[in-house]
Amino acid sequence: MESAVEIAARTTSGQWTAVEVVEAALARIAELDGPLNAMSVTLADAARAEAAQRDAATAAGRTPGPLHGVPIVIKEEVDVAGCVTTFGGEANTTPAAADAELVHRLREAGAVIVGKTTMPEFGAFPFTESVSRGLTRNPWDTSRTPGGSSGGTAVAVAAGMVPVGIGGDGGGSIRIPAASCGLFGLKPQRGRVTTAPHPHLWWALGTAGPLSRTVLDSALVYDAIRGNAPGDLYTGGEVGSFVDAARREPGRLRIGWSTKPAGLGVRPDPVHVAAVEQTAQVLSDLGHDVHEVDPRYPDITAAFVPQFFAGIRSEAAMVEHPKRLERRTRETVRLGAWVTPRVRDAALRATEKLSIKANRVFDSVDVLLTPTTAHRPARAGVLDGRGTVASSLLAMPSIAYAALWNVAGNPAASVPAGIADDGLPTAIQFVGRTDGEETLLSLAAQVEAARPWSSPG
């Protein structure tokens, strides 16, 4: 499937119409989604009408946007006007009256929203499965999970239904499914993308952003959606064009690599250790100063766990029918009752201190290279019958390298690193300084050019 950049170039030049592009995406969804279960809802009629509006506007002389005619899917936790924001469950029944601000910005840039994607309820665990929507399956191997919580978006993009989709990341939920499905997934700096109409996403932990097949597609979407809105609790620092960053050489960087997990009791799969070591060699061959480091990770428990529970409880408090929440979600809400506002605020203060400690690694390096996840993708249905505690333990290998950077707020990207003997993708993680997305995009694009990756669709 063509990239978002290629599609926009062809629709803008008149080679293709937006209607043709959207019809092709809808056909691919109809053909491919059945066994994969990426789509929560397909907005076929609305997408056709929106595409026709894009074509009519250009015919009338309106300058097309940078995403003109590009079909995009949206994770269920993000409001799309006329759709119920399900958060992956059945506890809401009233359609959203208006788009979330980032969806509004996508439309203003010319994108066409073709549907919403599956997620575990409230994104609580890094496996995309729920009572409401069932199991979402990895397109590389349907017996395996695509990861989560943005698993539906990852599957839709990896399988070739759409070129790009929106996910969210509160503990790795963009990077984990990107790694599992062979995609590029950048978690941006805290506060880079507005969370409006909500003031935050899981307090200091969460942010939204795209999953894509190419680095440039991710940059293109970020340039369309980034920036703040009134009421946002967090704001990112000043940065330049992400598209320009993805198109330029990064220069010679100091890159420190480590396979040491930030989470205790987790050992990385040898496949992931090898991916880091091989990437370190690629980077060295590209002229970077590459060496092993000890990041001396701080313990994030006091900051992450209260915000995790506070995030789930704040979203659960917003639903219309709390009794319809899944059993495991209700258990999680109960177990988090100890997270009072006072405890939550203490966790936010701990977040600020931990961010300072975590960022000390950047005193000696420009970019940190690690695995994205510790283990290979689990079997689909791994959470069946399990409660909150057991599910949390199963999640630890997935978040062992990712969640720290939600607490610290730094940008971090999962970058494909090849295909392992099990037939599934491998990935590495690049972590940047505060507000360092431009460096990560330049470096990831350089690696993409040196070591091209592929997708199953």
Query: What is the biggest distance separating any 2 CA atoms in the chain, rounded to whole angstroms?
Result: 61
Please give the Cα distance from 55 to 107 (Å, whole number).
13
Please give the Cα distance from 325 to 316 (Å, whole number).
8
Please give the Cα distance from 412 to 172 (Å, whole number).
9
173 is catalytic: yes
pLDDT of residue 1: 83
Please check the confidence at residue 293 and state whether its pLDDT lies above 80: yes
Average pLDDT over residues 73-95: 98
Please check the confidence at residue 307 and state whether its pLDDT lies above 90: yes
Please give the Cα distance from 100 to 104 (Å, whole number).
6
Give pLDDT tens digits for 5-48: 999 999 999 999 999 999 999 999 999 999 999 999 999 999 99
Find, among 315, 385, 395, the residue nearest to 87 by Cα. 315
Please check the confidence at residue 93 and state whether its pLDDT lies above 80: yes
Q: Determine which one of 40, 130, 132, 149 is catalytic.
A: 149
What is the chain's mean pLDDT, rounded? 97
- Domain boundaries of the chain, sorted by first residue: 4-450
Structure tokens at 173: 């939920």
Q: Determine which one of 40, 75, 212, 218 is catalytic.
A: 75
Give pLDDT tens digits for 318-351: 999 999 999 999 999 999 999 999 999 999 999 9
75 is catalytic: yes
Please check the confidence at residue 278 and state whether its pLDDT lies above 90: yes
Structure tokens at 251: 């220069």
Give pLDDT tens digits for 180-202: 999 999 999 999 999 999 999 99
- Strand pairing partners for 207? 169
Average pLDDT over residues 196-212: 96
pLDDT of residue 263: 79
Average pLDDT over residues 275-296: 98
Whole-angstrom Cα Rg for the chain:
20
Domain 4-450 has CATH 3.40.190.10: no
Ordered DSSP codes for 284-305: HHTT-EEEE----PPP-HHHHH
Average pLDDT over residues 142-148: 98
Cβ–Cβ < 8 Å for 374, 276? no
Please check the confidence at residue 154 and state whether its pLDDT lies above 80: yes
Q: Is 227 left (phi over 0), alpha (psi -120 to 50) or beta?
A: left
**pTM for the whole thing?**
0.97
- Strand pairing partners for 72? 113, 164
Q: Give the list of residues 6+ apart from residue 450 with CB closer than 8 angstroms, or none.
A: 282, 285, 286
Find, among 346, 349, 352, 355, the residue nearest to 411 by Cα. 355
The percentage of the chain sitting over the pLDDT mark of 90, rounded to a whole number, equals 98
Q: Which residues of 27-45 are buried (b: 16+ CB within 10 A; e: fewer)?
A: ebbeebbeebbbbbbbbbe
Cβ–Cβ < 8 Å for 176, 143? no
Q: Alpha-carbon torsion 435, 438, 439, 444, what sign? A: positive
116 is catalytic: no
- Match 């009134």 to its residue by tokens: 230
Structure tokens at 356: 């300072």
Cβ neighbours around 279 below 10 Å, total: 25
Give pLDDT tens digits for 386-421: 999 999 999 999 999 999 999 999 999 999 999 999
Q: What DSSP state is assigned to residue 96?
A: P
Q: Give the list of residues 6+ apart from residue 92 with CB closer than 8 angstroms, or none.
A: 84, 85, 86, 319, 320, 321
Find, among 140, 122, 224, the residue nearest to 183 by Cα. 140
Amino acid found at 16: W
Please check the confidence at residue 208 and state whether its pLDDT lies above 80: yes
Please check the confidence at residue 456 and state whether its pLDDT lies above 90: no
pLDDT of residue 255: 98
Q: How confident is the model at residue 457 (pLDDT cuts 50, 70, 90)?
A: low
Instruction: Measure the CA dihedral 69/208/115/241, to 10°.
Output: 0
Cβ neighbours around 205 below 10 Å, total: 24
Q: Determine which one of 132, 150, 173, 212 is catalytic.
A: 173
| C-alpha distances out from residue 325 to 331, 333, 352, Å | 10, 10, 33
